[in-house]
A and B are shown apart, each in its own frame.
Chain A
Amino acid sequence: MVTQTTGAGLLLVWAVAMIGLSYYIFRRQSVNDTEEFITAGGRAQLGLTTASFAVTWMWAGDILGVPQYVGITGVAGLWMYAAPAVLSSFVVIPFALRMRELFPQGLTYSEYFIERFGNWAHLVVILVILYTMVLGGVIQLFVGGAVIGGLTGIDPNIVMALLMTVIGIYILLGGLWGSMTTDFVQFVSALVLTLIFVPLLLVEAGGPGQVYEGMVTNLGEQSASFLSMANFSAIEDLFLPYALGLGVWGVVSLATWQRVFAVRRDKTSRFLTIGGIGVFTTIAMYSVIGFVGLAAFTDVAPGNLSIEALGLMPDWAAIVFLLVALMVLGSSVDSYLTAIASLTSRDIYYRHLNTDATDAQQLRVARAASIGFAVVIFAGTVFALGSVSFVQLLLIGGIGASALVGPFALSLFWKKASETGFVSGVVVSQLVTAYLLLASYGIVFTTPTLKLWEIMAIGHLVSTGLTLVVSAASPDDFRFESIAQESSAVAADGGSEGGDGE
């Protein structure tokens, strides 16, 4: 346990460091126009983008989620959690390469849907992205409030309010440059602290051999299955919903796309590959917390393994852990907030409300949105803390992806994909999955009760199938070259000449 004073001091140091860093990058990169704010000018280098991408995918929830998976299913829990988490990075590669071929320098990927289909498709995509990104922010802040509040004794609502205020301010200053630069520092800090923290935890527990022996003793007859990587007993509850939802979430996440458009075009698949595989190693390290918990305790619920295992550590080690939580939390929330601010400015304000908006007006809207949605995420998290469990929130977070991934793929590679097919596929899929989710939790409806992975699978099948059938019945004949940005020559800084840079 960390004292309230120490906790408040740590939060203050973190706040000053992140805002100071964002101010530095705001001055250094001259973040005074929309392109710099939203895509970092499309010239960010590999190291910066990979670090930002990776740490955005290192969710604060992993600190609770991985040990919980291990507590439910043993060592197999680490790959059941980590493999789907990094699957997004792999799945998004063909999407990213195709988009960067058509749109060498897009600002938000959702704008593509206007060019490809029209306003209705664009509005549908905006809705899905918006609630997906807000939900992503809520998931992170949920853990931040619970873990940091729990470790310091500070009211979780105060912790969350402080976190969102700081993140809102540094995004307001630096936009994507601010997000990626603070991400880099958070990436290095999180990795170094994890590399120190995990061995310390093992030493406190008597070493890996002692942990192994403790697991065998405590688990008794269950030890054979809990110490087997091939324990598939929980695959339907843990692996499949994660793989079908968050496993393709990166394709929908505007935060992913901002980094895809930020990195140099010739580094696109490289940063997704190294970043994705690297995230696996980090998530795998968190499983050690679960192993130690299983070795030390016999009657702790899986969801409490993290906190109980951390109780074995001296106070100063809890401070190290708290810092890891702060770093991975800040990096993800700031990414989603930047994404929402970009979406509000470009997709909603510029594309639909004020098509004559100047760059300065768009930038003002983006900055206002970064503060406005910080408030929305905070309010959503306060509501969620008293209403749903963390794992429910985590797994439901992937539901939006099930509606969009298939139709998006068809729109990119199939010229007959039509707006009617796309819109009906996405909308009907979301309605069906929403109904099935409500019925499964007994809210308003009571039947049918399906497993979460079945709901996700139905969502994918409905969205992709309907887009295919409706488009086949009423096909488009789209010429992709008509939306390829006019100048095939890309500017020296990686941006496109004559692009949409007003």
Chain B
Amino acid sequence: MMGQGLFTGMIVLFWVAEALFGLLVVYWFLTQGFDSDSDTATSGPVELEDSSVTTKSLGMWAVFFAAIIVGIVVGA
């Protein structure tokens, strides 16, 4: 059974994570706009993402799932 401190910390963590997520997406939108016409017109074809990008994405998922498992164990 989780304690009161952990319970409060969990809610705060969710709030902060939600705020950061929103800020990141809004930042992307403000810096990149709607579409990539002007960017790609000069830089040429858009290739499929590099394997390092895919690896980083999968790494983020690994950390995310590990965090859930840790949360279940710690909050048991």
* Given the contacts A97-B54, A100-B48, A208-B11, A47 and B21 also touching, CB distance less than 8 Å: no
- Contact in complex: A492, B44 (CB < 8 Å): yes
Task: Give bound CA distance, A223 to B2, whole Å.
Answer: 10
- Contact in complex: B18, A47 (CB < 8 Å): no
Task: Give bound CA distance, A213 to B7, whole Å.
Answer: 11
User: Which residues 349-395 of A sit at the B interface, judged by CB distance below 8 A?
Assistant: none
User: Which residues 27-45 of B sit at the A interface, judged by CB distance below 8 A?
Assistant: 27-37, 40-41, 44-45
Find the residue from A199, A208, A268 having the highest chain B CB count within 10 A. A208
What residues of chain B lie closer than 8 Å to A472, measured between beta carbons? none
Min Cβ gap A196→B in Å is 11
Min Cβ gap B46→A in Å is 5
Contact bitstring B1-17, A, C-beta under 8 A = 1, else 0 = 11010011011001101
* Given the contacts A29-B35, A47-B28, A493 and B40 also touching, CB distance less than 8 Å: yes
- Contact in complex: A265, B47 (CB < 8 Å): yes
Min Cβ gap A25→B in Å is 8
**Counting CB contacts under 8 A, is A282 at the interface?**
yes
Contact bitstring A110-133, B, C-beta under 8 A = 1, else 0 = 000000000000000000000000
**Counting CB contacts under 8 A, is A147 at the interface?**
no
- Contact in complex: A47, B47 (CB < 8 Å): no
**Counting CB contacts under 8 A, is A246 at the interface?**
no
Contact bitstring B48-70, A, C-beta under 8 A = 1, else 0 = 11100110011011001000100
Other-chain residue from A47, A76, A225 in contact with B25 (beta carbon distance below 8 A): A47
**Counting CB contacts under 8 A, is A45 at the interface?**
yes
* Given the contacts A101-B48, A229-B76, A274 and B8 also touching, CB distance less than 8 Å: no
User: Which residues 81-137 of A sit at the B interface, judged by CB distance below 8 A?
Assistant: 83, 90, 93, 97, 100-101, 104
Min Cβ gap A228→B in Å is 5
* Given the contacts A208-B11, A492-B44, A47 and B4 also touching, CB distance less than 8 Å: no
**Counting CB contacts under 8 A, is A195 at the interface?**
yes
Task: Give bound CA distance, A430 to B31, whole Å.
Answer: 45
Min Cβ gap A83→B in Å is 6
Min Cβ gap B67→A in Å is 10
Total contacting residues, chain A, CB less than 8 A: 74
Task: Give bound CA distance, A229 to B35, whole Å.
Answer: 42
- Contact in complex: B48, A48 (CB < 8 Å): no
Task: Give bound CA distance, A502 to B74, whole Å.
Answer: 57
**Counting CB contacts under 8 A, is A40 at the interface?**
yes
Task: Give bound CA distance, A494 to B75, whole Å.
Answer: 46
- Contact in complex: A79, B35 (CB < 8 Å): no
Task: Give bound CA distance, A256 to B17, whole Å.
Answer: 23
A-B interface pairs (CB < 8 A), number: 187
**Counting CB contacts under 8 A, is A491 at the interface?**
yes
- Contact in complex: B8, A208 (CB < 8 Å): yes
**Counting CB contacts under 8 A, is A422 at the interface?**
no
Other-chain residue from B1, B18, B33, B45 in contact with A45 (beta carbon distance below 8 A): B33
Other-chain residue from A101, A199, A224, A277 in contact with B64 (beta carbon distance below 8 A): A277
Min Cβ gap A382→B in Å is 34
- Contact in complex: A47, B27 (CB < 8 Å): yes
**Counting CB contacts under 8 A, is A348 at the interface?**
no
Min Cβ gap A371→B in Å is 25
Other-chain residue from B15, B17, B45, B54 in contact with A199 (beta carbon distance below 8 A): B15
Contact bitstring A472-487, B, C-beta under 8 A = 1, else 0 = 0000000000000000
What residues of chain B lie closer than 8 Å to A228, measured between beta carbons? 1-2, 75-76
**Counting CB contacts under 8 A, is A326 at the interface?**
no
What residues of chain A lie closer than 8 Å to B25, measured between beta carbons? 47, 50-51, 54, 187, 274, 278
Task: Give bound CA distance, A202 to B29, whole Å.
Answer: 31
**Counting CB contacts under 8 A, is A167 at the interface?**
no
Min Cβ gap B2→A in Å is 5
Task: Give bound CA distance, A192 to B21, whole Å.
Answer: 11
Task: Give bound CA distance, A489 to B30, whole Å.
Answer: 29
- Contact in complex: A285, B76 (CB < 8 Å): no
**Counting CB contacts under 8 A, is A204 at the interface?**
no
What residues of chain A lie closer than 8 Å to B17, measured between beta carbons? 281, 284
What residues of chain B lie closer than 8 Å to A188, measured between beta carbons? 22, 26
Min Cβ gap B75→A in Å is 3
Other-chain residue from B2, B31, B32, B60 in contact with A227 (beta carbon distance below 8 A): B2
User: Which residues 243-297 of A sit at the B interface, judged by CB distance below 8 A?
Assistant: 264-270, 272-274, 276-278, 280-282, 284-285, 287-288, 291
- Contact in complex: A47, B50 (CB < 8 Å): no
Residues of A within 8 A of B (CB): 25, 28-29, 40-41, 43-48, 50-51, 54, 75-76, 79, 83, 90, 93, 97, 100-101, 104, 181, 184, 187-188, 191-192, 194-195, 198-199, 202, 208-209, 211-213, 223-225, 227-230, 264-270, 272-274, 276-278, 280-282, 284-285, 287-288, 291, 489-494
What are 12 sample pairs from A and B whose C-beta atoms fall under 8 A apart?
A46-B32, A47-B28, A47-B31, A48-B32, A75-B10, A181-B34, A223-B1, A224-B1, A265-B49, A273-B61, A284-B18, A492-B40
4 other contacts beyond A40-B35, A104-B48, A274-B21, with CB at 8 A cut-off? A50-B28, A181-B34, A208-B4, A212-B8
